[in-house]
Amino acid sequence: LQRWLKLLRKIIWFYLGSIRAILYQVYITLATSTKIGGGGEPFEHVRKMYEEEEKKEGKKASSVIGKRSLSWCDAATLEEVKLIAKAIGKNITLNDVFVSCASSAIARQLAEHRQLFTTRTDGPLSHKHHPYVNVAIPVHLNGGFLLPGKSVGNNIGAMVARIPGEINNYDDNDTTDSSVDTAVQRLKTVHMSIQKIKNTPAPLISYVMAKFCSDFLPESVTKYIFQNANANAAFVLTNSRGSPKKLHIRGQPVESATAFFPLPPGVPVGIVVGSYAGVVSISVTAEKWAIPDADKFLGWILEEYGRLRDEAVMIERKGKGKEIFKSSE
């Protein structure tokens, strides 16, 4: 009887969760649809402005369209990131931390684009700010763990969440994302947004749909569906879990390892948060028209991470936690 009840609970969860996931996907897609007054994919305005600018100057092609910008670095120890997440909230994950940091960097990049094109063209980049942006998050269906005798394969689904972007009273002349009261506030909001969709079968649904489209539909149709399935996401962020210890090749240690994300159709920014030998690294792969200077963009991510760490230390000093940072200082 217990087995049948457990199976029934799973069926009910899948059924209700699927409805919730589909409705949420429709909501965030419509919320960013330009056809009904939404802001669209935030960086789409940037690409159009570059194209219009190049046409006015009589050039056949933009100097940035079709090019990529890259940057990567080691960000922190894995232990420190986990301690920061634990200090802020017991259910906050490493992914939550860096999705939050990346969303802050996205807001600063959009503000910089707006300021740049306000001075270089006849009007502002867009009459609308983007208080919220969508992020696509790939999810391994096995939870990121490889079972004995199994390979990584292509058992990967995805989910899209609506998270803070340029929120509250934003100042066009301020590119420091000062609209967010604290980095912790942003992180907690990001966590709640991701948690809503994480508790549904969204990754499994996306995996089944992607496999069906790839196996049975024409390539052009599949590409169109994939471009619209990302719900106008401004960026995609994934976590790459590496070996907890240094690997060796012919007796020589591999000191660091970094992964890069191949940009999916319609998404201009890809971020990989990797871990290897206890160190967390970050890589940025982006369309150059969206992120002209990937080093600068990555610096903004690290600045937000620094603010998170400082605020986590303040939380500790106020007696809301133990001296969790003593070992990492």
Model confidence over 161-193: pLDDT tens digits?
A: 999 988 753 344 444 444 456 889 999 999 999
| pLDDT tens per residue across span 36-65 | 555 677 888 788 877 777 777 665 545 777
Cβ-in-10-Å burial (0-12, 13-18, 19+) of 36 comes to: exposed
Specify the pLDDT at position 235: 95
Q: How far is CA 324 from the centre of its chain?
A: 27
Place of tokens 């060796």: 248
Specify the pLDDT at position 37: 54
Specify the pLDDT at position 32: 74
CA distances from 126 to 45, 86, 129, 255 (A): 7, 38, 7, 44
Three-state DSSP state, 232: coil
Specify the pLDDT at position 209: 87
CA distances from 168 to 127, 129, 195, 196, 277 (A): 16, 10, 22, 22, 40
- Whether the CA torsion 6, 11, 15, 20 is positive or negative: it is positive
Number of C-beta neighbours around residue 40 at 10 A: 16
Specify the pLDDT at position 59: 57
Specify the pLDDT at position 222: 84
- Spans of the chain below 70 pLDDT: 33-39, 57-62, 118-128, 143-153, 168-181, 319-329
CA distances from 284 to 73, 78, 146, 297, 301 (A): 9, 19, 26, 8, 10
Cα distance between residue 121 and residue 216, in whole Å: 46
Specify the pLDDT at position 172: 44
- Range list of H helices, the chain: 2-31, 44-56, 78-88, 94-120, 183-198, 202-216, 219-229, 294-315
Three-state DSSP state, 273: strand
Report which of 290, 207, 208, 194 is spatially closest to residue 239, judged by C-alpha positions.
194
Cα distance between residue 245 and residue 125, in whole Å: 47
Name the pTM for this structure: 0.84
Specify the pLDDT at position 90: 84
Specify the pLDDT at position 31: 77
Number of C-beta neighbours around residue 327 at 10 A: 9
Specify the pLDDT at position 150: 62
Number of C-beta neighbours around residue 166 at 10 A: 24
